[in-house]
Amino acid sequence: MTAARNPSKPAFEDRYHAGRLLAELVHHLRDQEPVVLALPRGGVPLGYEVAKSLNAPLDLLLVRKLFAPGHPTLSLGDVGEGGAMKIDEAAMREHRIPIGDLDQIVLHEREELERQAWKYYRGRPRLAVRDRVVLVVDDGVATGETIRFALEQVRKERPAEVYVAVGVVSPEAYPELFRSTDGVFTPIVPATFGSIAEWYGKFPLVDEGEIERLLQEIHHLHDQDALPARSA
């Protein structure tokens, strides 16, 4: 981890470059046979590089933010697989969001979650992580709300250990993220934090075709439908 000021030039060429740097930081986990779970969409290229370096299986950790109508940056909570949901009731009250509006937002995001699950999983279950070492990967963490929600869902599956590997973490989010896991791996925790994108030279939207391609490339190396428990 490096404390840094806002960059005069980006720290990473792109997400793949950030993923290769992360792979170096977590290389010591290779012998523990970890499972890599990436948050789509931005976390998948990093997760791909990490999984490839560790010879580890790669899968997705699907979560969706609930944004207030007309406020694309105002998060009201998150939804995850299996009906998981967390609502920021303080934000609901402060911005006077009607329950009916929230119900519509939740319905829409759950439908999108189901669509993504069908597209990426193609009817198979997500990788089992019980008694496994899990490495959750994303391109960056600003507030940390969504990734902590995702970690709560992973913990319910009773993995042996849960680590986080991200390109950059805001100084506000880092302490709580560290307390929520067995360890946090990141090249940079900046002294000040504006946005995740400022740390990347190229930061395009990762399209679904790219995600499918990266998953398939790793899937060809692992029988992920019948992943055994971690060896003792």
pLDDT tens per residue, range 42-73: 999 999 999 999 999 999 999 998 988 777 77
Contact between 6 and 194 (Cβ < 8 Å)? yes
Q: Is the pLDDT of residue 9 over 50?
A: yes
CA–CA gap between residue 147 and residue 24 (Å, rounded)? 22
208-219 and 99-121 helices, crossing angle to 10°: 40
Tell me: the pLDDT tens digits for 169-185? 999 999 999 999 999 99
In terms of average pLDDT, the best of 2-11, 83-92, 144-153 is 144-153
Which one-letter amino acid corresponds to residue 154? V
SS3 state at 182: coil
What domains can you pick out in the chain, each with its CATH number? 2-62+125-226 (3.40.50.2020), 65-120 (3.30.1310)
In this predicted structure, what is the pLDDT of residue 228?
Answer: 39
Entry field: residues in the chain:
232
The pTM score is 0.88
Give first-to-last CA distance, the chain, whole Å.
Answer: 30
4 pLDDT band (50/70/90 cuts)?
low
Chain-centre distance for alpha carbon 126 = 15
Span 217-222, mean pLDDT?
Answer: 84
Identify whether 230 is preceded by a cis peptide bond (ω within 30 of 0).
no
Identify any residues that bridge with 78 across adjacent strands, giving them in sequence order: 65, 86
Tell me: the pLDDT tens digits for 80-109? 988 899 988 888 888 788 888 888 989 999
231 pLDDT band (50/70/90 cuts)?
very low
Q: Tokens 């490339």 map to which residue?
A: 217
Tell me: the pLDDT tens digits for 196-209? 999 999 999 999 99
In this predicted structure, what is the pLDDT of residue 121?
Answer: 85
